[in-house]
Structure 1
Amino acid sequence: MVDAALIQQCADPGLKPAIVEQFVERAGSQDPLAVTVRSGNRVVLVPKPTTSDEAMALIRHNIGRNTIRVGITQYPAGLGIMEAGELKPDIVDACANLKMGTALFAKVYRVVSKWYGNPTGEEATSAVFEDAVIAWQTGYFEGTAVFRTPDPGEVKPPEPDREHPASDAVEQSADSAGEEVSDPARDEASGGDPNKAGIRVDLSGIGAE
């Protein structure tokens, strides 16, 4: 579980701590230096980095040809990066990674919620959260590259239903779906900086700390 103090200090302020916890638990890692490399649907076995320098070297070696996820939020390395040299080491810093990851996940949620028609019912909005997690893991939702699509604006996600986790079929669909490769491309909607990707969602009225 992500440390509560780290969430308070570093997570996107528009997300309630309970949402951040669920997001990291479902889609992230407990290791700030975690680097996951995929080629299509296949996980590429790579040495586990023990220092930030090793992690950055591993990322730079694979950027542009494989899909790379990094840190406690498994942030998509390469998003908005034109060259490997533009990568900053704060991507493997726990606080910076949490800040970037939660801000980008909030946008992904808005993309999914818009497709659903911005539902407000508990059951419907729980489904939005589930699909937003899968979209985060795969990089796509209904054929849309969710990390690069323009931010659709402000919606209000609910707290996920802890008593009704996603079915095995839904979980497997996340593992088998195609994921967006971190090829060199710039996010026009955010000017290359996912922390500036549109209006952040206000979740202040939901969740429990």
Structure 2
Amino acid sequence: MLDAAMIKECADPSLKPAIVEQFVTAAGSGDPLAVTVKSGGRLILVPKAASTEEAMAIIRQYVGQAVVRVGLTQFPAGVGVKEPADLKPDLVDPCQNLRKGTAMFAKVLRIVAKWYGNPTSKDVFPQIFDDAVYAWKTGEFEGVSVFQAEDSGNSVTLGTVRPPSDRDETSGDSNPGATNAESPEQSQSSGTAEMRIDLSRIGGK
């Protein structure tokens, strides 16, 4: 789905390539134009977009009324945007979507790691990763709306994750907590700026 060159060029440098791959496998989509719409925990069937224009039309139609996820990383459209007209086509650009998605996921990882007490043991990282993926899918972790939350800024020791064969139960689209946990994403008027966060304190590749 993702080649090494694309990960090197587009993904957030604080995440190791293997973690980027696992993140997209667990929470993303193989289709750069994929648009997923959920309301009240239920999936709304929308036409499959065949172009950037079609994808953006679907996104603008539902943002603010439902939970809209887009692109390779299933980035939460509308976060930090006050009006649907302000949404940019780069949401469905593969490189830009990967850049935005991995930067946001790195922040979610930091939030989850902070809750765990920022452990340094690599044995703990798979659980942190699983919880971060769950938080990415639901928009919430321990009562915190992760997409609107302030970046903790804490350094995270980014370890390794388990092979996909061991993660089948957590990589599906079904989410038992989705009904109650998706509401934070719908708060589109939070006024937060577009997410550009300082990742300089995170370990290298």
TM over 0.5: yes
The ranges of structure 1 where at least 4 consecutive aligned residues each deviate by more than 3 angstroms after the TM superposition are 170-174, 180-183, 198-201
Give yes or no for the alignment of 1:27 onto 2:54: no
- In the superposition, relative to structure 1, how do residues 45 and 201 fare at CA in structure 2: closer, same or farther (>3 Å)? farther
* Cα offset, 1:39, TM superposition: 0.4
Structure 2 runs not aligned, ≥5 long? none
* Cα offset, 1:127, TM superposition: 0.6
Q: Which residue of 2 aligns with 1:104?
A: 104
Quote the Cα distance in structure 2 between the aligned partners of 1:6 and 1:174. 28
Q: Which residue of 2 aligns with 1:158?
A: 159
* Cα offset, 1:200, TM superposition: 5.0
Structure 1 runs not aligned, ≥5 long? none
Number of residues paired by the alignment? Answer: 200
1:32-181 alignment, distance < 5 Å: 32-153=32-153, 154-162=155-163, 165-166=166-167, 168=169, 175-177=175-177, 178-179=181-182, 180-181=184-185
CA contact (8 A) 2:26 2:172 kept: no
Q: Which residue of 2 aligns with 1:185?
A: 189
CA deviation map 1:10-40 (0-9, x unaligned): 1111111111001000000111100000002
- In the superposition, relative to structure 1, how do residues 69 and 76 fare at CA in structure 2: closer, same or farther (>3 Å)? same
Quote the Cα distance in structure 2 between the aligned partners of 1:138 and 1:37. 13
SS at match of 1:96: helix
SS at match of 1:123: coil
CA deviation map 1:123-145 (0-9, x unaligned): 22211011001101110001110
- In the superposition, relative to structure 1, how do residues 131 and 173 fare at CA in structure 2: closer, same or farther (>3 Å)? farther
CA contact (8 A) 1:63 1:183 kept: no
* Cα offset, 1:173, TM superposition: 9.7
Q: TM-score, normalised by structure 1?
A: 0.88
Q: Which residue of 1 aligns with 2:18?
A: 18
- In the superposition, relative to structure 1, how do residues 148 and 187 fare at CA in structure 2: closer, same or farther (>3 Å)? farther
CA contact (8 A) 2:39 2:66 kept: yes
What's the C-alpha RMSD, in Å, of the aligned pairs? 2.0
SS at match of 1:113: helix
1:1-16 alignment, distance < 5 Å: 1-16=1-16
CA deviation map 1:69-119 (0-9, x unaligned): 000000000000000111000100000000000000000000000000001
Identity %: 47
One-letter amino acid of the structure 1 residue matched with residue 163 of structure 2: R
Which is further off, 50-59 or 179-188? 179-188
